[in-house]
Chain A
Amino acid sequence: MDKIKKFFSSNIREISLIIVMIAIAFFVEFRSGGNFFTGENISDMLTETAVLAICAVGMMTVMVTGGIDLSIGAVMALSAMVGGTVLKNNQSVPTIAIVLISIAVGIVCGFINGTLVSKLRILPIIATLGMMNIFRGITYLVSNGSWVMQQDMGANFLSLATGRVLGVNNLIVIALAVYIIAAFFMTQTRTGRKIYAVGNSEESARVSGIKTGRTLTMVYTILGAIAGLGGILYVCKYGVAQGETCTGYEMNVIAACVLGGVSVNGGTGRVGGVLLGAVLLGILNNAMPLIHVSSFWQEAIRGLIILLSIIANSLIQRNVEMKALRRRNI
């Protein structure tokens, strides 16, 4: 009994997210006349969410250190554009090589961000805002203003986003793999725990001998790599790479993290929570058309749900603190 109670209190955020999700799901199922819980719809929804979820977990590592990366959309576009251009010139390049090229480009971008933040001590929001412009500009230069269209990519590459493993869409499989690796990395390795230490207190971390600068550079580089992967998958899924790809995507990714309980002040955030945050956004995106919410309403509703959920969360938090104060019996 005690254990169950403890489980609930330490996972209150995740549990309330799941409850919200289930509530939305059943509401939609009911209103749409049973169109939500179909294998096809669920699969569609998760496929649509996969890229966002992948990127969100990368953003989480940065946000846990108290930083933020506004350039993620631009990095996605740039790495996808480089990958796409290679493909355009030579469709016989194997898909895996294209993905690796994109990831490599992302790593370089992330490393630059990380260096600006850790070495030059530029505030993350400013550094990545500046780099966002630069990466986006380079994207146009690489593409020379032209688009990489579906026919430029070739069926072989495009099948990456449509293919299935054991009946599950590749993108979902890749996202799951990323989450398993991330969960393992963040909870089971020393390096992962250092990220939390730096985010909790950079000073303490330094005192206990952690090289904080290196940790910071690392998280931005990781996010770069993930953005590279996310970018190429995004392009693969939607079949076009252009200069505007993923404009404003950073806000979606940050929103998923915030919904999932990652604090912008650093120190907290769990892989599971971020997954739930991303999926919740995915459900919203998927559910609203199903129950015939006009597409013009969707944006405002999404924003409102994000705002309400962060407010609800801080009310819950206050309640918990008040209870702790009452217990002091003063």
Chain B
Amino acid sequence: MSDYILELKGITKIFPGVKALDNVHFSLKEGEIHALMGENGAGKSTFIKVITGVHQPEAGEIFIRGQKVSIKNPKDAQNLSIAAIYQHGTAYQHLSVTENIFIGHEKMTKLKTINWKQMHKDAAALLNRLGSSIDPHSVMGNLTVAEQQIVEIAKAISTNAKIIIMDEPTAALSKRECEELYRITEQLRDEGCSIIFISHRFEDMYRLASRVTVFRDAQYIGTWDVDGISNEVLITKMVGREISQIYPKQDVEMGEEIFRVDKLSKTGYYKDVSFSLHKGEILAMTGLVGAGRTEVCQGIMGIEKPDSGKVYLEGKALSISHPSDAMNYGIGYLPEDRQKQGLILDWSLGQNVTLATLEQFTHGSIINQREERQKSKELLERVKTKALSVFDKASSLSGGNQQKVIVAKVLNSDLKVVILDEPTKGVDVGAKAQIYEIMSGLAAQGYGVIMISSEMPEVLGMADTILVMKEGRVSKIFSEVKSVTQEQILEAAMNT
């Protein structure tokens, strides 16, 4: 009999061109909450999918209570009492809460029909047990993210799971909702479940976990007891070097005001958002996921038009009804979701880089392809993309390099203001530093830079001004960054 309810040894998982997990170890004690930490792209999500049988590892062994097992598909994992709550909800948006909970293991009557009555009752009981009053009949898509998460947890316990994996469950929750989740998680532990809790937040770890494991760049770094480990040590483990090194912030004299947003509002998304930006300034917009940061910036760009409010560039009011208008004025936007919003993955790098600025290479509506290739070559070299030729497919690059391609694409326009939405999300450390370098280079050249970011150190390390959003409104603007602490920002992002 082993001490561990779940143990993984030497797990390696290779995707075409990428090693997502490289000889990784992990062990989970019975009845513990074990935090799994690491930067985006460290391999945490792949790791979960190996445990739940979605991916098959190329090498390595899995043990449950000391017994070697093989988990070939999600059904196997379910039979081994493993359940996962994924970061990107796997909910069936058009189906009811009850159905989301019981899909795949519906309660049946004696006649082999679905026992809806029983299921609704059980669903209500499960939700009740979790202290929630969600109506089991309601449609999943109409619930808030936090409520959907509770439904997912109910789903996990409905399968009698003993090992529950939660992938960044707190990422999109308000402080109150987080407390609720902590309570539920502890309750599950007290009822005998063992929990792997994945999170970016140190707060979550301290509050819940007894041990913490860190992954970095697809590798296992180590496991420690939470008592007696400090933030600094953990960050160093996660990032791989001292944190102060990676923010190459140049001292730039801020110039005159270049850009101003005045009372921008859109029903249901954000209200009365106002701020101003100066030449050479990096303004960080932070707040919880769902606070409306991305929506505001997409409103500025004309992607989803705001209902009211004005945007000024160099003192002139702009009328923007489409992203191309914003670009013509000199406002560029690097979107949050590289793969869905930034790049055409099937296209070559060269064509991706020039998509937004085809005019530069067209003469009487014909594209001069030679000129286009030459220009994209120069741009890609400038941002130090790791690629062989401009003909390489965008899908063949790693996350960090894909991000550089989009940076090159945005930079090709004649810009005054650059909006970067989570520019380092899912980017490896090396590429991250290069992106920071580019960013502070832009500020030094007199651009106004807006950076949306959820990562506290990055915000504190790069910004001249920090704007915190909460529930669609500007909660606080810190203009003296040097004296601001993480706690103050969190306070502004979450206070109720």
Contact = CB atoms under 8 A, between A and B. Distances in A.
- Asked whether any CB of A lies within 8 Å of a CB of B in the complex, the reply is yes
Interface stretch (A71-79, A277-285, A318-326): A318-326
B99 A324 contact: no
Nearest to A192: B114
Nearest to B73: A209
Contacts of A193: 99, 103, 106, 114
Interface stretch (A85-93, A135-143, A197-205, A292-300): A197-205
Nearest to B106: A190
Given A190-B114, A325-B269, A200 B54 contact: no
Interface string B103-137: 11010100011101000000000000000000001
Contacts of A268: 94
Contacts of B113: 184, 188-189
A208 B268 contact: no
Contacts of B471: 330
B271 A330 contact: yes
B342 interface: no
Nearest to A330: B472
Contacts of A209: 73-75, 78, 104
A196 B268 contact: no
B473 interface: yes
Contact of A204 (B78, B90, B270): B90
A227 B52 CA distance: 40
A267 B104 contact: no
A209 B73 CA distance: 7
Interface in A174-194: 184, 187-190, 193
B90 A207 contact: yes
Contacts of B292: 330
A326 B267 CA distance: 6
A322 B268 CA distance: 8
Nearest to B265: A330
B92 A201 contact: yes
Interface in B443-472: 471-472
Contact of B94 (A190, A196, A330): A196
Interface in B466-484: 471-473
Interface residues of B, number: 34
Interface string B134-146: 0001010010000
Contacts of B269: 325, 330
Contact of A203 (B52, B90, B93, B112): B90
Contacts of B106: 190, 193
A268 to B, nearest CB: 5
A250 B99 CA distance: 32
A297 to B, nearest CB: 37
A160 B114 CA distance: 34
A215 to B, nearest CB: 12
A5 interface: no
A207 B74 contact: yes
Contacts of A328: 268, 472
Interface in B320-353: none
A208 B270 contact: no
A208 B103 contact: yes
Contacts of A21: none
B93 A267 contact: yes
B147 to A, nearest CB: 13
B95 interface: yes
Nearest to A328: B268
B285 interface: no
B21 interface: no
Interface residues of A, number: 27
A188 B111 CA distance: 10
Contacts of A208: 74, 90, 103-104
Interface string B248-284: 0000000000000000000111110000000000000
A207 B54 contact: yes
Nearest to B75: A209
Nearest to A204: B90
B90 A330 contact: no
B114 A204 contact: no
A197 B90 contact: no
B431 interface: no
Contacts of A207: 52, 54, 74, 86, 90
Nearest to B83: A208
A210 interface: yes
Interface in A209-224: 209-210
Interface in A282-330: 322, 324-326, 328, 330
B92 A196 contact: yes
B95 A200 contact: yes
B445 to A, nearest CB: 36
Contacts of A187: 114, 116
A210 B94 contact: no
A330 B473 contact: yes
Contact of A197 (B54, B86, B103, B108): B103
Given A208-B103, A330-B471, A197 B268 contact: no
Given A193-B103, A330-B270, A200 B92 contact: yes
Given A188-B113, A330-B270, 12 more contacts: A187-B114, A189-B112, A189-B114, A197-B103, A201-B93, A204-B91, A207-B86, A207-B90, A209-B75, A330-B269, A330-B271, A330-B471
29 contacts: A6-B137, A10-B139, A187-B116, A188-B114, A188-B116, A189-B112, A190-B106, A193-B99, A193-B103, A196-B92, A196-B94, A196-B95, A196-B99, A197-B92, A197-B103, A201-B91, A204-B91, A207-B86, A208-B90, A208-B104, A209-B104, A210-B104, A268-B94, A322-B267, A325-B267, A325-B268, A330-B267, A330-B471, A330-B473
Listed from nearest, the 4 A-B pairs whose CB atoms lie closest are A325-B268, A330-B472, A200-B92, A209-B75
Interface of A: 6, 10, 184, 187-190, 193, 196-197, 200-201, 203-204, 206-210, 267-268, 322, 324-326, 328, 330
